[in-house]
Amino acid sequence: MTNTQKMVRLNLDLSPELNQILDELANKIGKNKSDVLRQAITLMQIMVIAKEETKKLGVPEANQLIVNEIILSSEQQPKSHPLDTFMERLGPWEDERTAEEIVKDIYDSRTISNFTLLT
């Protein structure tokens, strides 16, 4: 920033743990806490713009594989349908048996419990 631009002073309450993280980040990049927060705001802005454009933001390794995807917190994302969540976590049903074989296996696996035969 140039000297002619006015700076806005901001008071910020942080937990001791978050303050320690901020100190560590400042030391790692060789800057002060204000610089770390400015860069964090810029990164957050990039992430929000990407989300608005239905893009994803990721951290690739040298071989271009995405190792971390940056997502917004859940309260900012639309709720997904439970079926979508189910399919994403577990995937589609995969079975080499025919439908008839599956139904037969289900019927064959049924057992009768607590049944007393009266004669």
The answer to whether residue 5 is domain-embedded is: no
**Higher-confidence position of 90 and 118:** 90
The answer to whether residue 102 is domain-embedded is: yes
Does residue 114 carry a pLDDT above 70?
Answer: no
The answer to whether residue 11 is domain-embedded is: no
The answer to whether residue 47 is domain-embedded is: yes
Domain that holds residue 93: 16-109
The answer to whether residue 119 is domain-embedded is: no
The number of domains in the chain is 1
83-103 pLDDT tens trace: 777 777 887 778 889 989 989
Which of 73-105 are b and which e, b meaning 16 or more Cβ less than 10 Å from the residue's Cβ? eeeeeeeeeeeeeeeeeeeeeeeeeeeeeeeee
